[in-house]
Structure 1
């Protein structure tokens, strides 16, 4: 994806020709209409945190409760609302089944300092397409801080540290534990303990035979 001065463009690389070609393009004025974002500024909006699920790429719009979406089936850009209560990233986009994207976000309750995972599913029919339905709230063990660090269509990666650990921006954190969450069962499973904070993580699944463990 390339952010130009007047428009947003998506490119696809062809392995047969060895060349890039533009497959989707939309002007800022058309894309941002109705979002409350001014198109008069010389600076284009900032998008970050690319994620993929249900044949669509998603980016969070900086300082806005909005998502930029690229539908790879239609090769079209659109803007979607974030679900209510999702005040800030990071978020995790997953496949919720039946062609619907689901979103996880970590919420901190200011009153008591506790955290939970907030899971919502986006509707995919009629006028409710841009609406999110709350599916489940998963309480997280108290006494820790929690951070979303990666996701696939089926799993997400969650880190936690003791509540009195240094700031999340620090590379050195004690008792940092990594968890995976199965989107289908919503079960958390401890994966490992880490000595260093992971600023950005990626989950790899379905390795080819050459990278898989030998079995009989």
Structure 2
């Protein structure tokens, strides 16, 4: 087993009573993906297995591409939009080059994969809910000024396709941190006593505003909108 990732998930459609939830444990094995799913309403675990995870990510029927299996773990951080959990995968130097978005449908518990533009070690991919039930993505090469916005579109015939919608020039070098409450958070660098500075980008107006100056690198911080969890009433958040 190459990795094991537990996380909370929204309830099944038939259990949406405001109290039910599911726990998913995603096991990345050498050739397969295994979902262990616990439902609070049923009080039981069950398993769903995808036998050829390499084939899903590469489009190849070969389940074991030499010694390159480790390139598919770990994926980029897990994100959630429109009842899909999403992971961005990339592999460099592999006989099966990969830049894909792995998607888990929380209704069917089935996996699918969508081709992404070529990614690098320094590409940040931020997932968000776009209009009309679509999934949007902002991409930025670490500490560059260009910000690209893509939307997953389906023409009703084939699979989802990643379509470039807009490209922005931010006039400075930033790193994408995350999205919450209709804002992107970006971190830049400067040479002074507060080397890390953060800006928020309003996704409706595209206004860039100063947010925070810090002596600490905020890479990997988790974003939320509204009250912090410690001050919020006890509820199950579906998007963690």
TM-score interval for Structure 1 and Structure 2 normalised by the shorter chain? 0.7 to 0.9
User: Which moves more between the two structures, 114-123 or 9-18?
Assistant: 9-18
Cα offset, 1:123, TM superposition? 0.4
Gap change, CA 1:114 and 1:32, over 3 Å in 2: closer
Distance 2:195 2:42 in 1: 49
Contact 1:9–1:25 (Cα < 8 Å) also in 2:
yes
Contact 1:83–1:120 (Cα < 8 Å) also in 2:
no
Cα offset, 1:208, TM superposition? 8.3
TM-score w.r.t. length of structure 1: 0.74
Choose which of 210, 221, 225 in structure 2 pairs with 1:205.
225
Distance 2:51 2:181 in 1: 30
1:171-186 to structure 2, matched below 5 A, reads 174-186=194-206
Distance 1:191 1:128 in 2: 42
Instruction: Quote the residue 1:118 is aligned against.
Output: 148
Give the secondary-structure state (helix, strand or coil) at the position aligned to 1:193: strand
Cα offset, 1:51, TM superposition? 1.1
Choose which of 93, 105, 108 in structure 1 pairs with 2:127.
93
1:128-147 to structure 2, matched below 5 A, reads 129-142=159-172, 145-147=173-175
Gap change, CA 1:195 and 1:83, over 3 Å in 2: same
CA deviations 1:170-199 (Å, max 9, x no partner) are xxx843211223334433332211111122
Distance 2:50 2:229 in 1: 41
Gap change, CA 1:9 and 1:17, over 3 Å in 2: same
Contact 2:180–2:223 (Cα < 8 Å) also in 1:
yes
Check if 1:6 corresponds to 2:31.
yes
Contact 2:85–2:104 (Cα < 8 Å) also in 1:
yes
User: Which moves more between the two structures, 175-184 or 95-104?
Assistant: 175-184
Gap change, CA 1:182 and 1:71, over 3 Å in 2: farther
For structure 1, list consecutive stretches of 5 or more residues without a partner in the other structure: 166-172
Check if 1:56 corresponds to 2:84.
yes
TM-score w.r.t. length of structure 2: 0.68
CA deviations 1:81-112 (Å, max 9, x no partner) are 1136x55522101111111111111147xxxx
Cα offset, 1:62, TM superposition? 3.2
Query: Structure 1 runs of 4+ off > 4 angstroms?
Result: 16-20, 35-38
Q: What is the RMSD of the two structures over their aligned residues, measured on CA atoms?
A: 3.2
The alignment of Structure 1 onto Structure 2 pairs a total of residues equal to 196
Contact 1:178–1:190 (Cα < 8 Å) also in 2:
yes
Distance 2:181 2:84 in 1: 11
Cα offset, 1:80, TM superposition? 0.9
Gap change, CA 1:153 and 1:57, over 3 Å in 2: farther
